[in-house]
Structure 1
């Protein structure tokens, strides 16, 4: 039974990827850029320069300081805004549907993560209240699981492969963060690079899902 279920999920995942090759180009292109940066840092000893790309913005002397951190925050904001605007539109066209609640809860979750990323809530709680990062990661992980349990039927009708990929990438990022791997370049790529790629998948996912929901309501598709 489990093998049959896994096979079904795998076949559905293949269909989703084949149906939208932009997913492959999106992830492949980003991985290629991060790989090139990693190779550059390794062979030219520019690991610290790579770290600057993921540092807290910004510095007048170094315009690129925190560049990729800012990109991550823009992607979070884009995803949340798309979901929130879509919710208001969907709720006007066809109110009181569970799909609308799905989009609203998605927006709330995204803005919570954006607030943490932007205002460094996890870091502040660690330094002020002595709450370990691992505890906050557990809180966010529990929230993600609760979200999945509440909307699993809806999630299965969407390109959930993107969410699975994002979850794995966030898991890698959190693990590297808690392990405190020493070095320049490679550790920051494993932590912040995977996080950036995860956020990119999240942004693409909700752009697609919200667009499809609006199209369904426009043409009266249930």
Structure 2
């Protein structure tokens, strides 16, 4: 397990998305919630539809989900073909599949809109995601602890904070959205950077073994 110390990378990964979220909140041009909401949801709550800025923070988060999923799954393919480290392969595969699921759910509002319409309870989808996440942690904890565990903890912490804000204090105010979706955006950034860097490190280590 690596030493638990905060470095400059952690500050950058947290402060950059935090600054973006704060800028979206204080800008005077449009209501901040229109920038944080999903674009389809934002389009339904504004009379000025449809503008390219609707849901821009949400879209950035979705882009990061998909980039991370693609990176991890490509790393899983490389690690599978080299067959040098099974734990590394499982980490990349589980992380890629979980992140892809989160990306699709976030992009298409699956657990909120699609699932209930086809007879799947929203809570069932959320429990399935939570179960997959727990399986990922149980299967891959050794790789996680040997990597930048502080960055991983930041990712989980901010994503959990976003969930707590949403459940404990539901609101439609601009401040609520910057707290909930701002925390989510920071969490996605931390999650993405952790998994991209870890996947690159594992592939590099595999190359060194086979080279």
Q: CA RMSD in A?
A: 2.6
Question: How many aligned residue pairs are there?
Answer: 202
How far is the alpha carbon of 1:186 from its aligned partner? 1.0
Equivalent residue for 2:121, pick from 127, 131, 134: 131
Q: SS where residue 3 of structure 2 aligns?
A: helix
Q: 1:56 corresponds to which residue?
A: 38
CA 1:132 to 1:88, structure 2 compared with 1: closer, same or farther past 3 Å? closer
Please give the secondary structure, in 2, of the residue aligned with 1:25: helix
Q: Residue 90 of structure 1: CA displacement? A: 1.8
Distance 2:126 2:149 in 1: 21
Is the Cα contact below 8 Å between 1:173 and 1:191 reproduced in 2? yes
- Deviation by residue 1:5-43 (Cα, 9 ceiling, x = unmatched): xxxx8x8221xx33xx222112112223323433x26xx
Which residue, out of 18, 21, 42, partners 1:34?
Answer: 21
- Shift of residue 200 of structure 1? 0.7
Q: Structure 2 unaligned segments of length 5 or more: list them.
A: 44-48
Does the alignment pair 1:22 with 2:12? no
Structure 1 gaps of 5+ residues are 1-8
1:66 aligns with 2:55: yes
Q: Is the 8 A contact 2:163 2:180 kept in 1?
A: yes
| 1:44-69 Cα deviation digits (max 9, x unpaired) | 5x7x6211112333666422111111
Q: Deviations over 1:114-153 (max 9, x none)?
A: 11111211112346647355x5444423322221111211
User: Partners in 2 of 1:192 and 1:182 — Cα distance?
Assistant: 12
Query: What's the TM-score, normalizing by structure 1?
Result: 0.79
Tell me the CA shift for residue 180 of structure 1: 5.0
1: CA distance between counterparts of 2:156 and 2:189?
Answer: 12
Shift of 1:209: 0.4
Q: CA deviation at 1:157?
A: 0.5
Equivalent positions of 1:135-150 (< 5 A) are 136-150=125-139
